[in-house]
Amino acid sequence: MTLNPMDLTGHSILVSGASSGMGRETSILLSRLGATLVLVARRADALAETERLLEGSGHRSVPYDLTATDGIPAWMKALAAESGPLSGLVHSAGIQLTRPLRVLTQAHLDDVMRINLGAAVALVKGFRQKGVVSDKGRSVVLVASIMGLVGQPGIGAYAASKGALIALCRSLALELAPERIRLNCVCPGHVHTEMAQRLRETLTPEQFAAIEAMHPLGIGTALDVAYAVAFLLADTSRWITGTTLVVDGGYTAQ
């Protein structure tokens, strides 16, 4: 029998932002590792497409608008009552738009912070509830960004939200350690996703070439990030909490 230390058979994992990009690729990989997925995003049609790509059975697509942060814990309680407790949580949903300071508005800042940070707080709060979190796994992965670690012009709101997510992870990891719940962040560099493509469309070819050149190993893929998420969900990271795993092709090594 071949040992797979990243086997997730018997684990039920909720993935937000599962309708596209890193959330979709992560969901597919987790299903191949044996996990049962609860797929969450706003668009039911896109979630259904993700579900069709999964291996195994028992997966659920649950459309939900994560901007309704106050209702998330009760919603998760109801989910667990219907389909059983969760052993893992991945918050991959997020907003990324270029907004230079001269056109940055309070409304845009509020929107970015609500989904990138506020939804993360509510999801973790919901996850740790009795009857929601299972007796095994107990791992949360927050998808941040290297923009929470380094600066780049024009994305101050996004960078602030991801930097706050990293700080949140450290504090909540300590707070929830007595409950044997682990929290970690993954910080991707620039990867090929639908969101990244929308950002690319706002840049000149020269600007994008400069971004690409800052990744010594080249632009990454969503699967590169998914592997890191899976590692942090599985027992391979059972002694890791409150950390930030950078997956950036060498961007921050410079």
Which residue in this structure is represented by tokens 């971004």? Answer: 211
Give residue 22's region: left, alpha or beta (phi > 0; psi -120 to 50).
Answer: alpha
Contact between 62 and 50 under an 8 Å Cβ cutoff? The reply is: no
∠ CA 80-81-83, rounded to 5° = 60
What is the rounded CA–CA span in Å between residue 166 and residue 144?
7
| Distance of alpha carbon 241 from alpha carbon 181, whole angstroms | 9
Among 64, 158, 227, 251, the active-site one is 158
**Is 158 one of the annotated active-site residues of the chain?**
yes
Asked whether the beta carbons of 79 and 67 are under 8 A apart, the reply is no
* Alpha-carbon distances of 231 from 3, 104, 126, 215, 252, rounded to whole Å: 15, 37, 23, 22, 21
Q: Which of 64, 77, 29 is nearest to 50 (CA)?
A: 29
Non-local (6+) Cβ contacts of 206 within 8 A are none
How many angstroms separate the CA atoms of 93 and 95, rounded? 7
Please tell me the total number of residues recorded for the chain in this structure: 254
Specify the DSSP element, H or E, that contains 199: helix 194-200
Q: What are phi and psi of 60, to 5 degrees?
A: -130, 140
Which residues participate in catalysis according to the annotation?
158
